[in-house]
Amino acid sequence: MGKKRKHSETQTAEPRKKDEGAPERPKRTLMGWKDKDEVNQQTESSPDSPQVFRNKEKVMVTCSRRINYRYRHLMLNMVSLLPHCKKDNKVESRSSKGATLNELIELRGCSSALFFECRKHQDLYMWMARCPNGPSVKFLVNAVHTMEELKLTGNHLKGSRPLLTFSSNFEKDAHWKLLKEMIIQIFGTPKEHRKSKPYHDHVFVFSIVDDHIWFRNYQKSVPHNESDKMVRGLDKMTLVEVGPRFCLNPIKIFAGSFGGPTLYENPFYVSPNQIRALEKRKKAGKYAKKVKAKTRRKMHEQSNPLEPDEFADMWRE
Amino acid sequence: MGMADGSKDRIFAEGEKERTKREATDFHAMGLRSKDLSFLQSEKAVEDNVDDVMGDYSEEEDSESESESDQEDVKLAEPSKTAVYNREGLVEKLEDIGWPENVDWMHKLSLDIDQEKEVDVNDDLARELAFYTQALEGTRAAFDKFQSMGLPFLRPPDYYAEMVKTDAHMQKVKGKLLAQKRQIEESEERRKAREAKRIAKEVQAEKLKERAKQKKQEIEEVKKWRKQRQQSGFKDGKDSMPDLGFEDGKTFQRSSKKRPGVSPGDRSGGKAKQGGGKSNNKNKKNREFRNSKFGFGGRKGMKKQNTAETTNDVLAFNKSNAAGNKKRKR
């Protein structure tokens, strides 16, 4: 975010040619468009709100090669949900992933990225990163339901600004707070974005249950046969799920973008490979276990012989 | 070991202070196995760190992390000891990327909803309900805010713009919903029909019983009357004859309802309708002919049969015709 401050450096160098014809364009700084007079008056204005804050967030959404159909649809759903995103081609590299991705983000002029990485055609990892030197998070994605599922019946305007709701757990710890801030910046559509639409007709739900972040997207629907005014009775509002749905398991938080020192590591995280290996191992010893159990039973029977049964000969002719 | 226990208690106390139990730092000592001596050494180091302000450290011990639960998304029963938690770094980064303090709420549009009780992850309904209520509360709160700011909130019904799901998709959704509804209705109807049939059967049984009873009663009455007449010596004439209702001679006539006669070649069993009176006679004849030829599976083909005439028709075979049976190999 600090990289685009070059203009302020060249500010003093520019001569003031006011009679050049068309009035000069106001300076473009991070904090909004400013006329030159305003720039001079910067120091004079009150320190509370001198500059207009403009959210210039741009998210780059990419995926790795060999991605599953389901996860590709999830990625496309994300692209349609975030009007301030730019979809890029598939990223091939595996070894120098961080460097390549950082370069790509710079190239496209984005400030954050969502990278969907699919391993072994089965597991989806999602990276959320802030480009220049910001933190990045790696998540394991579970329980994916895309918008195309017919059971998710809601619909909303494409590009309308979402309402982000967070459960109160997000304030409980530093890493959740950091994640919350990143989510707000990435998933929140900037105000007055070119592709954004008015009205807020959908809600995002981010909630922490069992140390996972669950995501839901609901459409607000109000019965239309009420009064024609904009303000309708909110008691009858129902929420219809639009989708997609997924569940994020944070794995690691890095200080740099796609790399750097680890700030947080989830102590409860087990990689899906390990889970699969464990299952296989459980199944592997089945025969050996059976044989052992048999011998054990035999020993047990030998050591504790049964009493002779009184009624054993009862039915014998 | 005494030392270890003591330290564990202390760390436990520390853990209670923090609201969440799941912090790696506090459990570093708890997860330790008492067998390994080397752990005891580093335990001291952990204590010191834990007592101080949480610095930036990471445990270098390599420990086995076991997963003991058997859910789909397995979680470690004990937290891994190599987990890093750099709280200062996290806070620093948060300040780095955070937006300035005086940013309007309109930019963020974020709401914090209080989650009262712990939701069981495995109980789908409860979990979804929790999410739903969170969204609903959030919307209500936001609505109040928007109202106070005087900004439009909900979409008016006549605002048409591109939606996130295409119209074709929504048609499919609608189709599926309708199909579901229809299924439910049909099953309801079937159930009702079954019930009605059962009731109807009962009613019918009752009716039959009634009829039988009636018949018996009538016969009894006739007998009684006859006996009465006998006793009183056949002198009454026909005055006191009971009106029995079967003397108009109608019982010996058959009902005049005609059942159509069924011809042997008629495959429909006499149920085929002969058409309305409006149809043209010629058309009808044509239709009849075609019906008999093609309708209901067509005429029973009695085309090839070994009858007396055909058996004697050996001379009908044409010997000189070489292309008789194409299938026969030459």
Buried b (16+ CB within 10 A) or exposed e, A43-57: eeeeeeeeeebbbeb
pLDDT of residue B178: 95
Flag if A168 and B143 touch (Cβ within 8 Å): no
Quick check: pTM over 0.90? no
Virtual CA dihedral for B10, B16, B20, B26, nearest 10 degrees? 0
Angle between helices B87-97 and A174-187 (to 10 degrees): 20
Q: Does A134 touch chain B (CB under 8 A)?
A: yes
Closest by alpha carbon to B89, among A214, A253, A185?
A: A253
Contact indicator for B141, A220 with CB cutoff of 8 Å: no
B276 vs B274: CA distance, rounded Å? 7
ipTM tops the 0.85 cut: no
Cβ atoms within 10 A of the Cβ of A72, count? 15
pLDDT of residue A241: 92
In A, which residues are within 8 Å of B20 by CB distance?
172-173
A166 vs B288: CA distance, rounded Å? 77
Q: Would you say residue A180 has pLDDT above 60?
A: yes
Q: Does A30 touch chain B (CB under 8 A)?
A: no
Residues making up chain B, counted from first to last: 330
Confidence of residue B236 (pLDDT cuts 50, 70, 90): low
Q: Would you say residue B11 has pLDDT above 60?
A: no
A153 dihedral zone (left: phi>0; alpha: psi -120 to 50; beta)? alpha
C-alpha angle A144-A147-A153 in degrees, rounded to nearest 5: 120
In B, which residues are within 8 Å of A123 by CB distance?
none
Flag if A142 and B80 touch (Cβ within 8 Å): no
Buried b (16+ CB within 10 A) or exposed e, A156-188: bbbbbbbbbbbbebbeebbbbbbbbbbbbbbbb
Flag if B154 and A232 touch (Cβ within 8 Å): yes
Smallest CA–CA distance from A130 into chain B, residue: B97
Least confident among A207-216, A224-233, B244-253: A224-233
C-alpha angle A185-A186-A188 in degrees, rounded to nearest 5: 70
Collect all residues with Cβ–Cβ distance below 8 Å to A93 and sequence separation of at least 6: A100
Cis preceding-peptide flag for B157 (omega within 30 of 0): no
At A240-286, the pLDDT tens digits run 999 899 999 999 999 988 888 899 898 888 999 999 999 998 888 88
Q: Would you say residue B253 has pLDDT above 90?
A: no
> How many Cβ pairs within 8 Å bridge chains A and B?
229
Virtual CA dihedral for B67, B68, B70, B71, nearest 10 degrees? -60
Closest by alpha carbon to A109, among A69, A46, A60?
A: A60
| Three-state DSSP class for residue B12 | helix
Flag if A166 and B113 touch (Cβ within 8 Å): yes
pLDDT of residue B120: 79
pLDDT of residue B241: 58
Helix (H), strand (E) counts: chain B: 9, 1
Q: Identify the helix (H) or strand (E) that includes residue B221.
A: helix B167-231
Structure tokens at B90: 């996290």
Q: Would you say residue A45 has pLDDT above 60?
A: no
A110 vs A131: CA distance, rounded Å? 7
pLDDT of residue B320: 58
* Beta-bridge mates of residue A167: B113
Alpha helices in A53-173 (DSSP H): 69-81, 97-108
Q: Does A80 touch chain B (CB under 8 A)?
A: yes
Flag if A157 and B97 touch (Cβ within 8 Å): no
In B, which residues are within 8 Å of A233 by CB distance?
none
In B, which residues are within 8 Å of A172 by CB distance?
19-20
pLDDT of residue A144: 92
Flag if A178 and B90 touch (Cβ within 8 Å): yes
Least confident among A277-291, B204-218, B310-324: B310-324
What Cα–Cα distance (Å) separates residue A231 from each residue in A104, A204, B155? Answer: 45, 22, 10
In A, which residues are within 8 Å of B63 by CB distance?
none
At B56-87, the pLDDT tens digits run 333 333 333 333 333 356 666 666 677 778 88
Choose from A79-88, A185-194, B188-197 the range with maximum mean pLDDT: B188-197
Residues making up chain A, counted from first to last: 317
A121 vs A115: CA distance, rounded Å? 16
Least confident among A158-167, A186-195, A248-257, B231-240: B231-240
